[in-house]
Amino acid sequence: DAGITQSPRHKVTETGTPVTLRCHQTENHRYMYWYRQDPGHGLRLIHYSYGVKDTDKGEVSDGYSVSRSKTEDFLLTLESATSSQTSVYFCATTLGSGGSYEQYFGPGTRLTVT
Amino acid sequence: AQSVTQLDSQVPVFEEAPVELRCNYSSSVSVYLFWYVQYPNQGLQLLLKYLSGSTLVESINGFEAEFNKSQTSFHLRKPSVHISDTAEYFCAVSDRQGGSEKLVFGKGTKLTVNP
């Protein structure tokens, strides 16, 4: 399995504050993804990256931005957190380049916006 | 774009009973199919996958799934469940549009195995 870590694992923040979540991988996978998981909605893709400095929007990207300056790190930023962004956030990676699309997941970050 | 439907949001069963978790996807073009499992307070782990070849695929812990192209289904089955199988199960399908490598996930099925 890919070595994927997420930090922080838990965070409580106030409405209107900026928040950055970090995903770090050690497997040199090309693709990285940010999802949010909410009851009744399953996993929804926020943003993904297909290489350093190459990112694209997913289905629920409003209010989120991402950056990838190194292969191993993918940052998710909430510019001004809102209560609707209270969720569990998962990072995932896949090798890419004609692989099987199998994604490897990190342990998740539980974010509460008060 | 692909979509995935998991027909049951919750499935309660008794220990040692058989179980089937249903999954249908929208497009019949060439796809890769996956089942992931999520235990409480953990990330998702790959349970099994269909890429090509035999339409019946198996996991190491006794689950199996069958790819049915004509019915666009990939149902997950286990002949005898254990308490430890209690978890949420997600079906996912590859989405090859635009050359990007993405998976589309269903909303999940919570399997509860009761003694």
pLDDT in tens, B37-59: 999 888 999 999 998 888 899 99
Give the DSSP per-residue string, B61-91.
TS-EEEEETTTTEEEEEESS--GGG-EEEEE
Residues 6+ apart with CB under 8 A from A62: none
Distance, CA of A76 to CA of A67 (rounded, Å): 7
Cβ-based contacts under 8 A for chains A and B: 52
- Share above pLDDT 90 across residues of chain A, in percent, rounded to a whole number: 81
Residue of B nearest to A42 (CA): B107
Report chain A residues whose CB lies below 8 A from the CB of B89: none
* The two three-digit tokens of residue B96, written as one number: 């090859």
Residue of A nearest to B40 (CA): A107
**pLDDT, average across residues B18-41:** 90
- Under a CB-based contact definition with an 8 Å cutoff, are residues A47 and A72 in contact? no
Pairing of strands A42-51, A73-78: unpaired
Min Cα distance A79 → chain B (Å) is: 25
pLDDT digits (tens, 9 = 90+) for B85-103: 999 999 999 876 656 688 8
Return the CA Rg of chain B: 14
Q: What is the pLDDT of residue A22?
A: 98
Measured from the Cβ of residue B50, the count of other Cβ atoms closer than 10 Å reads 20
- The angle formed by the CA atoms of residues B112, B114 and B115, to the nearest 5 degrees, is 155
**pLDDT-derived band at B28, boundaries 50, 70, 90:** low
pLDDT digits (tens, 9 = 90+) for A25-66: 998 999 999 999 998 889 999 999 999 999 999 999 999 999
Q: What is the pLDDT of residue A91?
A: 97
Residue of A nearest to B1 (CA): A59
Which residues make beta-bridge pairs with A23?
A6, A74
Positive or negative, the Cα torsion across A19, A9, A107, A42? Answer: negative
Distance, CA of A21 to CA of A56 (rounded, Å): 17
* The two three-digit tokens of residue A82, written as one number: 């809102």
**pLDDT-derived band at A71, boundaries 50, 70, 90:** very high
Average pLDDT over chain B reads: 91
Average pLDDT over chain A reads: 93
Looking at the partner chain, which of B32, B43, B94 has a beta carbon nearest the beta carbon of A90? B43
Distance, CA of A63 to CA of A38 (rounded, Å): 16
Find tokens 């005898």 and name the residue: B80
Q: What is the pLDDT of residue B95?
A: 75
**pLDDT-derived band at A89, boundaries 50, 70, 90:** very high
